[in-house]
Amino acid sequence: MSFKKLSLSLVTAALIAGCNSEPVTTTSTVATDSATQAQAAGISQGEYVARLGNCVACHSTLDGAPLAGGLKMAVPMLGNIYTTNITPDPQNGIGQYTFAQFDKVMRSGVARDGHRLYPAMPYTSYAKMSEQDMQALFKFLMEEVKPAAQANIAEEIKGIRNVRWGMGIWNLLALDKKPYEMDKSKSDNWNRGAYLTQGLGHCGACHTPRGLLMQEKGLGHGDSEFLAGAPLDHWMASSLNGDINSGIGRWDQQDVVEFLKNGHNKFGTAFGTMVEVVNNSTSHMSDADLQGVAEYLKSLPARSEAKATPYVAGTAETEQLKKLDFSKAGARVYYEYCSNCHVTSGAGYAPYQPPLAGNPVVMDKDASSLINLTLNGSLRVFSGQGPDVNNMPYFRQLLTDQQIAEAVTFIRSSWGNTASAVTAADVAAIRQATDPTRNDTYVLRMK
Ligand code: HEC
Ligand code: HEC
Ligand code: HEC
C-alpha cells in the first residue's frame, strides 16, 4: 500500500471513529463506582470524582472563577493553548452539552461542535471511567458548579501548525476507548487502584514517557514503559514502578499511602508539579482509595533496574563533612547552603526536611527535578494536616550554575547514592526556561 493510500484510509477510519457517539454502558463494581467513597468523604459522588480527576489543576486558576479555565498550557512543537471554561455557563462553558456529548468529549476528545481537543486534556485516561462515575461527574458540573461568564482565550497556534484535525488520526494510534475492565484474578482493592491510577488519576500523563507523537508509551501495567518516569515542564516525574533505587521498590504500601495523603514520607517530600496533585487531588482521596492506588503501584515490577544493586547507606561523606574536609567537589557548597536543613549525613529531619540519602528522586537518571527545585524552590504541600511549615528555599540568586551543579552532583553521589554527575550547562538550560515558584499555599477551588 502506498503511503498516500494508507493515510487516506486512516483519515476515513478516523472520521468514522469520531462519529460514534453512543455513551458507554458499564456494570457497576466496587472498583469502578466511586459512590461509597464519596459518601465516606461526605460529598456528592460527582464532586469526589472531580477531585479524583483533578479537573481543578488545569481548569481553575488562582484569580479566576472555579473551573472557568484560562490556564496556559504548552503543546510541544506547536505553541500554546488555554484550558476552557467547564462551568455550566451556556455561552462560554459546557451548559449546552448533553450527557452523550459530554461522555464523548471526555473519552475521545471530540467537543460538542465537533472540534478535536489536543491531548493536553488527558482524555486517553478519562476514557477508562465507568458510566456511573461519568454520570455523577456530569451532574456535579451542571448542578453544583456556578456558571461563570468567563470567555475562553484563543489558542496561540497558527496556520500549518494547527493540527486539530489530525487528532482524529492521533486517536487511532494512541487512544484505547474501552472503559476499565476488572481483572478477576486480582483483589477488589487492586482493581480499584488500577482504575484510579490508569483512569481518573491520569498518573501516566506525567509519569509515563511519551513517544514520537507525544502519545504515552503505555496505558496499563502490561506495557513496560507505563509509569516508568518522564520529564515534563522541566520536572522529572520519577518512576513509580518497582525499580529498586530510583523507583518505589524500597517503599512499602503504607509509604505510598502516606506520601499521597500527606505529601511526604520517610523517603521524601512532594515537590514540583506533584504538589498540585497532592494538594488538589490525592490528599482528598479516602483511605480505602489510597490503599488501592498503593497496592496497585506496588504490584508494578522493576524495569530498568531489575538487576541493579539496591541502595546501601554509606557514611564516608558524613565523616568528611564533620571534619570540614571539603576535598570532594560540591562538599563545601553543600555544607554552607544545604546542610543546616538536610544535615551532614543527608538524613534531614524526616518527614519535614526530607532526607537526600537513599531518596529515589535524588537517584533518578534525569536530574531535572533536583536542578529545578534548587534553582526555584517548590510550592508548599497542603494536606489534611494543614500547610507544611517548611519548604525548600530557592537558590537562583545566591548560587551560580557551577555551584548548583556541584551541590546536586554531591548529593547524587554521597551517603551511598549512586547517580550521574550534573554539569553547569544542565543548570543553565533549566535556569533560562524557568522562574522561581510562588511561596504561598493554596488549594484550587472547584465550586
Ligand atoms: C492536565 C490538564 C487537564 C486536566 C487535568 C483536565 N483537563 Fe479538561 N481540558 C484541558 C485542556 C487543555 C482543554 C482544551 C483542549 C483544547 O483546546 O484542545 C480541556 C478541555 C475540556 C473540555 C472541553 C470543553 C469544550 O467544549 O471546550 C471538557 C468538557 C473538559 N476539559 C472537562 C474536564 C474534566 C471534567 C476534567 C476532570 C475530570 C478535566 N477536564 C481535567 C486540560 C485538562
Ligand atoms: C502533573 C504531573 C504529575 C501527575 C499528574 C502525577 N505526578 Fe506524581 N510526581 C510528579 C513529579 C514531577 C514528581 C517528582 C517530584 C516528587 O517527588 O514529588 C512526582 C512524584 C511522585 C511520587 C514520589 C516518587 C518518589 O520516588 O519519590 C509518587 C509516589 C507519585 N508521584 C505518585 C503519583 C500518582 C499515584 C499519581 C496519579 C494519582 C501521580 N503521581 C500523578 C508529577 C506528577
Ligand atoms: C531551609 C531549609 C532547606 C535548605 C537550606 C535546603 N533545603 Fe532542600 N528541601 C527543604 C525542604 C523543606 C524540602 C521538601 C520540599 C519542599 O517542601 O519544598 C527540600 C527538598 C529538597 C530536595 C528534594 C527531596 C525530596 O524528595 O523532597 C532536594 C534534592 C533538595 N532539597 C536539595 C537541596 C540542596 C541541593 C540544597 C542546598 C543548595 C538545599 N536543598 C537546601 C529544605 C531545605
pLDDT digits (tens, 9 = 90+) for 351-386: 779 999 999 999 999 999 999 999 999 888 998 778
As a whole number of angstroms, the distance between CA 110 and CA 103 comes to 10
User: Residue 75: in which H helix or E strand, if any?
Assistant: strand 72-75
Residue 139 — very low, low, confident or very high, per pLDDT cuts 50/70/90?
A: very high
Segment 203-210 shows an average pLDDT of 96
Task: Please tell me the predicted confidence (pLDDT) of residue 21.
Answer: 59
Q: Evaluate if residue 410 carries a pLDDT over 90.
A: yes
What is the rounded average pLDDT of the residues 334-339? 98
Nearest CA to ligand 2 atom 31: 274
Q: Does any domain span residue 234? A: no
Q: Tally DSSP H helices, then E strands, for the chain.
A: 19, 6
59 lines ligand 1 (CB under 6 A): yes
* Count of domains for the chain: 2
Say what percent of the chain tops pLDDT 70. Answer: 94
Query: What is the best residue among 206, 372, 388 to mutate for testing ligand 2's pocket, by most ligand atoms within 8 Å of CB?
Result: 206
Q: Say if residues 188 and 121 touch (Cβ distance below 8 Å).
A: no
Amino acid making up residue 327? S
The verdict on residue 298 lying in a domain is no
Residue 347 lies in a domain: yes
In this model, does residue 227 exceed pLDDT 60? yes
Q: Is 134 in the pocket of ligand 1 (CB under 6 A)?
A: no
Task: Ligand 3: list residues with CB < 6 Å.
Answer: 268-269, 271, 337-338, 340-342, 353-354, 356, 359, 361-362, 370, 373-374, 378, 381, 388, 390-393, 395, 407-408, 411
Q: Give the number of the ligand closest to the Cα of residue 295.
A: 2
* 10: confidence class by pLDDT, cuts 50, 70, 90: very low
The 10s digit of each residue's pLDDT in 391-403 is 899 999 999 999 9
The CATH number linked to 380 is 1.10.760.10
The answer to whether residue 1 sits within a structural domain is: no
**In a domain? residue 307:** no
pLDDT band at 161 (very low <50, low <70, confident <90, very high): low
Task: Give me ligand 1 centre to Cα 83, in Å.
Answer: 6
Among the residue ranges 11-15, 18-22, 57-61, 148-152, the one predicted with the least confidence is: 11-15
Residue 178 and residue 326 in one domain: no
Confidence at 253, pLDDT banded by 50, 70, 90: very high
Whose Cα sits closest to atom 40 in ligand 3? Answer: 338
Q: Is residue 35 part of a domain?
A: yes
273 lines ligand 1 (CB under 6 A): no
Q: Does residue 439 surpass a pLDDT of 60?
A: yes
CA angle 263-265-33, nearest 5°? 55
Based on the domain organization, do 170 and 29 belong to the same domain?
yes
Residue 275 CA, ligand 2 centroid: distance in Å: 8
Give the domain extent around 388: 316-433
Question: Is the CB–ligand 1 distance for residue 283 below 6 Å?
Answer: no
pLDDT at 153: 95
Would residue 119 count as lying in a domain? yes
Residue 341 forms part of a structural domain: yes
Most confident listed range (46-60, 154-168, 217-231): 46-60
Maximum Cα–Cα distance across the chain: 72
Pairing of strands 79-82, 72-75: antiparallel
* Atom 18 of ligand 1: nearest residue by CA position: 117
pTM of the model: 0.94
> Looking at ligand 1, which residue's alpha carbon is closest to its atom 17?
117
Residues, the chain: 447
